[in-house]
Amino acid sequence: MDVRITIETTFDNGEKRTHQLDGISRPYRVTCPDGIGLRLEDGKRVVEQIQRAILCDQVEEIIRESRVCPDCASVRAIHDYRTRDLDTLFGRVRVKAARLRRCSCDARSAAMPGGPISPLAYFFPDRATPELQRLHAELGSRHSFREAARLMKSFLPCHPPHHTTVRDRLGRVAAGLEKSRRASGDPAEALPKGGLTVFLDGAHIRCRPEYQ
């Protein structure tokens, strides 16, 4: 049998669009136990394609809606387009991100001309979804950074993370948590009963005969 996968987007303005994804083929005569149902590699490929279709449509809608000035409702001109690679749990998606000119009603642009506005910067401050960053931080705190990167590559269609990316994201998430704790005025938490658990990352040290 052959399975066809189609997804349909309905934008907030009522416009509809369909995306045809790669299908799945399971010829009966050559089906083996390993070909029953959706396999991991099929799932990763399908989810990656769904993510690409959704994200590209969403970016298009964000740019279109962002062009309307929130103060005077006039349409802001497009300054230029930049290519951006956005990292998500379900793959790296390359998008054409428009930058907008400031509206003439913007007091800042009269007094102090500002640069173009990038609507996507708000949604992707680190060019990665917060969900992906949180998973990097969580797996990086439970496993070695290399093992965390390997686990993500095994089960998700995300762009294979480098172990230093896992380490850096864990550091940023930890710093963000500490910053929000200080901002809220909470005192530092007392050490839990039984002491503090410290995780040490593993490393491979090349064996050199002269350094026994």
Taking the alpha carbons of 119, 122, 127, 130 in that order, is the dihedral positive or negative? negative
Query: How far is Cα 126 from Cα 134, in angstroms, rounded to an integer?
Result: 12
Asked if residues 127 and 87 have their Cβ atoms less than 8 Å apart, the reply is yes
Give whichever of 30 and 107 is closer to Zn ion, judged by the CB atom. 107
- Closest distance to Zn ion from the beta carbon of 197 (Å): 54
- Closest distance to Zn ion from the beta carbon of 64 (Å): 16
- Closest distance to Zn ion from the beta carbon of 77 (Å): 12
- Closest distance to Zn ion from the beta carbon of 78 (Å): 15
Give whichever of 108 and 208 is closer to Zn ion, judged by the CB atom. 108
Query: How far is Cα 36 from Cα 26, in angstroms, rounded to an integer?
Result: 8
Give whichever of 72 and 175 is closer to Zn ion, judged by the CB atom. 72
- Closest distance to Zn ion from the beta carbon of 110 (Å): 12
- Closest distance to Zn ion from the beta carbon of 141 (Å): 45
Give whichever of 105 and 177 is closer to Zn ion, judged by the CB atom. 105
CA of residue 164 relative to chain centroid, distance: 17
For residue 22, what are its two tokens?
A: 């790669």
Residues that bind Zn ion (CB under 5 A): 69, 71-72, 103, 105
The candidate with the shortest Cα–Cα distance to 41, out of 151, 157, 150, 149, is: 157
- Listed in sequence order, the residues at least 6 apart from 159 whose beta carbon sits closer than 8 Å to its beta carbon are 87, 91, 92
Q: Where are the alpha helices (DSSP H) in the chain?
A: 40-66, 107-111, 119-123, 130-142, 145-155, 163-184
Give whichever of 73 and 207 is closer to Zn ion, judged by the CB atom. 73
Give whichever of 38 and 72 is closer to Zn ion, judged by the CB atom. 72
